[in-house]
Amino acid sequence: MSKTYYDPADLRKFGKISDWNEELGSKFFEYYNSVFKEGALSEREKSLIALAVAHTIQCPYCIDAYTGDGLQRGITKEEMMEALHVAGAIRGGASLVHGVQMMNKVNKLDG
């Protein structure tokens, strides 16, 4: 067994998850491929959203995949970093917005 949880080489084996459940695996990949097709949003926009989400959920496979995908699409490192700051702002904001709850509680108990 591998001594680490993540192996970069495993990313290209992603499709193998269908080996143990063909029906659900196929449905998932069909859905996945449809999601990333051009629609109301461009493929480029979806790639940047995926990159930001990848960092939010801290998935190393997804980070590798959507950094590579962005480079292929000509997305610049400046654009990638801005997308990450959107993720960072939402994550940070999610903590800080709970400050209102804290303030409400303080005001109620000790106001």
Contact between 68 and 39 under an 8 Å Cβ cutoff? The reply is: no
74 near other proteins (CB under 8 A): yes
Mark the segment that binds other proteins (CB under 8 A) among 25-33, 48-56, 68-76, 86-94. 68-76
39 near other proteins (CB under 8 A): no
111 near other proteins (CB under 8 A): no
Q: Which two tokens stand for residue 16?
A: 């193998």
Of the candidate residues 34, 58, 72, 95, the single one contacting other proteins (CB under 8 A): 72
Contact between 48 and 70 under an 8 Å Cβ cutoff? The reply is: yes
Which of 63, 77, 76, 58 has the alpha carbon at shortest distance from 8? 63
Which residues contact other proteins by CB under 8 A?
Answer: 12, 43-44, 68, 71-74, 76
